Structure 1
Amino acid sequence: MRSSLTKILVFVVSFFVLNLAYSQAKVEINIGIYAPFANENSIVGRTLLVTLEALRDQINAQGINYTFYTLDQLPANQDAVKTIEKFVAAHQIKVLLTEGTRDGMFIAPIAKSSHFLHLNVGGDPKIEDGTNTFATLSPEFTKDMQQLLSLKHKMSENLDLDTLVAVQKLIKKLEANPQIFQLFQLLNQSVIQAVKQDSHCSSQQIAMQLQALSSKQA
């Protein structure tokens, strides 16, 4: 009887230790989303957030836990630069995502000076420097996002069922955009490779892996 109890106790303790080790092995990667969240274009920010959350559930993260933080779009001035730097530092952001050329061009130099990884979706490819800023040009994503904004403005003037259904369909389509999925998958692979080298990997280490993987796929 005592032998059986001992075996059970050993099993329980072993199970607890293994679970504790697994939880400690989780690597936290914080991703920021810089986009409109509070004005009439807030659907852009919300759609990006929902898209990333959907992608997070689809990929094989291999012990990586992705957490998303949002920052509302600011006027492009020096005060905004300081706010973004504080946001990145406060939440230990390793990757900041933007959408479109305007925000992409504004964030790119900040990413370079503050040494964080910047991913831009649907902006001018010239934004990309291959070191801190990486861009994916998706004409379909840009077109769908513009259509989404147009429908959102239409809804604010006159809410009808057809427009609401069109908005929901468009959001689902944006979530399933293959180029955005590929970008996030590439980021995930870069994080996994960087973590293998250093569990406390920096944005620069992730960027180096992303650069190497991007070169292989070019």
Structure 2
Amino acid sequence: MNFFRKGLGILCTIITTMNSVHALNPSQPQPEKINIGIYAPFSSDSAYIGRNMLGAMEIARAQMPSAKVRYTFYTLDSATSSKSAAEVLQKFVMAHKINILMSEGDQNAVLVANVAKKNKLLHFCLGCAPQAVDGNSFSTQTSSLPRGTVLNEERHAQFISQYNQEYMSHPVAEGAYAYDLFRVINHSVLSVLKKPSEYQIKNVSEHLLSCKTLPSGLMGPVQFHNKVSLTHIG
């Protein structure tokens, strides 16, 4: 019985000490969680497009770690011929609590833009004309490069080397543009988080719209054109 009482006393002392330490050292603020949904080919002959977009953003995320924000990527295979594509995309957004959508190609631009607007999400469309742009959707122009253009060894040697090392394949232009886009998104998110106001995706959109120029990326300098079109120049 004495042994039990002594053990109980020691346990109470440990718990009291732990509570005191916790009170003196409150937990650090939790990072802001941002879920990015990638709506692109992942199973057809064009699956390399989706894989490039995902892989490039994973590389960019690893290069820009931050205690203030945590990015998670989710993928959905684009189904342009499906009548239920909008419903499937909506379920995808709800299931993963998506904050930002990224799509590829003209064929998906309007579909994804409508879902983004309905759910008040940011949407970036790679390689599509500015046909459905607003405060939520941004058309990302990819100059005149054909779809799936292999990156130039001389101009993008470092990125190509890293991509090869990570995924044992050669990256295409869509991967480089996705890499640049993630850097733009991260730049705006961190800028918004510096302000005392509560973080909201709409604040990121407002920051993007207020930026005339952004840091140069793999595909050259980046700027906003007509306020809602993100363009690589140079």
Aligned residue for 2:192? 194
SS in 2 for 1:48: helix
Match for 1:65: what amino acid?
R
With normalisation by structure 2, the TM-score equals 0.64
8 A contact 1:127–1:133 mirrored in 2? no
* Cα distance, 1:210 vs structure 2: 1.7
5 Å-filtered alignment, 1:76-87, equals 76=81, 78-87=83-92
SS of the aligned residue for 2:114 comes to helix
1:156 is aligned to none
CA positional deviation for 1:30: 0.4
Q: Measured at CA, do residues 115 and 38 of structure 1 come closer, stay the same or move farther in structure 2, by a change above 3 Å?
A: same
Q: 1:54 is matched with which residue?
A: 59
Picking from 141, 146, 170, the partner of 1:143 is 146
Q: 1:122 aligns with which of 104, 114, 127?
A: 127
Task: Indicate the structure with greater helix content.
Answer: 1
Contact 1:190 1:213 in 2 (8 A): no
Deviation of the 1:78 alpha carbon? 4.9
Aligned ranges 1:1-218 → 2 under 5 Å? 13=21, 17=25, 20-21=27-28, 24-59=29-64, 61=66, 63-76=68-81, 78-124=83-129, 126-127=130-131, 129-139=133-143, 142-143=145-146, 145=148, 170-171=170-171, 175=175, 177=176, 179-195=177-193, 196-199=195-198, 201-214=199-212, 217-218=223-224
* Residues 150 and 171, structure 2, Cα contact 8 Å, conserved in 1: no
SS in 1 for 2:125: strand
- In structure 1, give the amino acid aligned to 2:109: G
Q: Deviations over 1:173-204 (max 9, x none)?
A: 764x3x544422221122123333445x3332
Q: How many residues align?
A: 184
Kindly indicate which of the two structures has a greater share of residues assigned to strand. Answer: 2
For residue 31 of structure 1, what is the amino acid of its counterpart?
Answer: I
Shift of 1:35: 0.9
| Identity rate, percent | 28
Q: Which amino acid aligns with 1:213?
A: C
Counterpart amino acid of residue 201 in structure 2 = S
Report deviation, 1:137: 1.1
Q: Indicate the SS of the match to 1:112.
A: helix
Tell me which stretches of 4 or more aligned residues in structure 1 moved more than 4 Å: 172-175, 214-218
Kindly provide the amino acid, as one letter, of the partner of residue 92 in structure 1: K
2:85 is paired with a residue whose SS is: helix
The one-letter amino acid of 2:148's match is: M
The structural deviation recorded for 1:68 is 0.2
Question: Aligned partners of 2:147 and 2:25: how far apart in 1?
Answer: 49
Computed over aligned residues only, the root mean square deviation of the Cα atoms, in angstroms, reads 3.4
Equivalent position SS for 2:99: strand
Deviation at residue 72 of structure 1 after TM alignment: 1.1
User: In the TM superposition, what whole-angstrom CA distance separates every residue of 1:50-106 from its partner, at most 9, and x where no partner exists?
Assistant: 011011122364521110001111235552211111111121111000112212232
CA distance in structure 1 between the aligned counterparts of 2:139 and 2:110, rounded to whole angstroms: 11
User: Post-superposition shift, 1:127?
Assistant: 3.1
Give the whole-Å Cα distance in 2 for the aligned partners of 1:108 and 1:174. 19
- SS in structure 2 opposite 1:93? coil
So what's the TM-score if we normalise by structure 1?
0.69
Describe the shift of the 1:171–1:213 C-alpha distance in structure 2 as closer, same or farther (beyond 3 A): same
**Partner-residue secondary structure (3-state), 1:38:** coil
